[in-house]
Amino acid sequence: MPPSADRAETPTRRVFSTYTVLLAEAPATAPRFHDMLEAVGMGRVEPFRDDAPALDQIRKLKPELVVASQSPTPLPGCQLLAAAREDEATARIPFVIIAAPPGPELDTPADPGAKDDLTARVSASVETEEFARTLIALLDPLIDPKQEESFRLIQEADALAESGDLPGASEKYQKALNLHARHLDAWLSLARVLGELEQFEEAETAHLMALETDRFSLKAYFALAEYYENREEYDQAIGVLRQALGIAELIKASGRSLSRLNFFIGEFELRLKRLEAAEKSFDKAIELAPDDVKLRTDIGDAYADKGYFEESEKHFQAALDVDPNLAHVFNKLGIAYRRQKKHKKALDLYNSARRHHPDDENLMFNMARAYLAAGDTGNAVKMIEKALGIAPEFKEAKLLLAKLRRGPKKPELDQEKKAAAVVPDPS
């Protein structure tokens, strides 16, 4: 998302994009302060929750900044500040206290941090520019100049990578990481650039450094698995995804995330022709997300792409059982039937699908191919003509119709296979 005009004019620091801010503000004004924190460039703004003790939330999140209202909702800021300063784990976290009108003073006995260099105060009516300057004055002494310079170099590297100057981008990323090594996204960007430069050993090292930076980052595991996939090192990819699965379970990731991880493992097992292991992973994925239509379609695609059309059938059908309005899944299931020469099943399916999708040209084209495979050229031609009546520029349909019109009146049963050599399935 491009930066807003407000953000472009607001004082900020590059390193703020990595900061997490915990916001404890009254519901009426919380959205305004949330927007101002984003305008200053803070990477992540988390609201306090009512279902957990405030200090526990600070300990768990470990934010770079807490912004808390002095009003009693959700918790008086000075009370929260006092508790944080007495806890070793949170004592050095910077605070901004938002004064509640008319603005009580902070020099109360319950506020030992009121005068320290890690606490600032703003009024509830503060404007964005003044708020930004307050944050910079509070946080600048805590910012490592090398880290800020590292972020400047990363921005330059990103621009070079986008323009196609991969060697230049690689050099900038490495300079940035030499200044500040604990930057996950920079390691991943460097790994991607090195992979494109075919410096594979260095790319793998960069991926591993990303994981060393944050071993709980599922994004880093996926990136390393994708690297191994591109190298066709599927066993290594499976190993990485199994590690990711363990991390996902540890951090209590959503069932859908766990489901996708199991799907990816199954997909790689399938590439290695380990059908039993693939099926086991797919079954686990389905168990975690039983009504996920995309998952069932993707499993069907995974089987079909490797030529296991019979295995793909039940997954395409399961997707249609959940949502019978998926024209593209009807087409995929019909193709699976046709590739197994189950021509009657394919035609029955397409006829059923046309009741839901009477004007789908791809459906008509695939129906024509099913007729052709069954030796019924006449109906094949009729269906192609209907498809072209809806989509006159349908290239594959025009090619197949021209080929049929040039061919014999009574084609052999394998004519569909011959036509397929020049006319691919539009799916």
CA distances (Å), origin 398, targets 51, 190, 327: 63, 46, 21
* CA angle, 410 then 415 then 419, to 5°: 130
Domain residue ranges in the chain? 5-142, 144-214
Distance CA(380)–CA(360), nearest Å, equals 16
Cα pseudo-dihedral 225, 229, 231, 235, rounded to 10: 80
Grade residue 9 by pLDDT with cuts at 50, 70 and 90. low
Instruction: Kindly report the CATH number that applies to the domain delimited by 5-142.
Output: 3.40.50.2300
**Is it the case that residue 382 has pLDDT exceeding 90?**
yes
**Tens-digit pLDDT profile for residues 223-273:** 999 999 999 999 999 999 999 999 999 888 889 999 999 999 999 999 999
- Proportion of the chain above pLDDT 70, given as a percent: 89
What pLDDT is attached to residue 78? Answer: 85
pLDDT tens figures, 10-34: 778 888 888 899 998 777 778 999 9
Question: Tell me: the pLDDT tens digits for 274-308?
Answer: 999 999 999 999 999 999 999 999 999 999 999 99
HSE, side-chain direction, 13 A CA sphere, residue 4: 10
What average pLDDT does the segment 44-73 reach?
84
Provide the β-strand partners of residue 119. 95
pLDDT at 426: 47
Give the model's confidence band at 75: pLDDT under 50 very low, under 70 low, under 90 confident, else very high.
low
Residue carrying structure tokens 């199994």: 242
pLDDT at 101: 58
Superfamily of domain 144-214: Tetratricopeptide repeat domain (1.25.40.10)
Give the pLDDT mean for 310-337.
Answer: 91
Pair of tokens at residue 399: 């090619």
pLDDT for res 109: 38
pLDDT of 357: 85
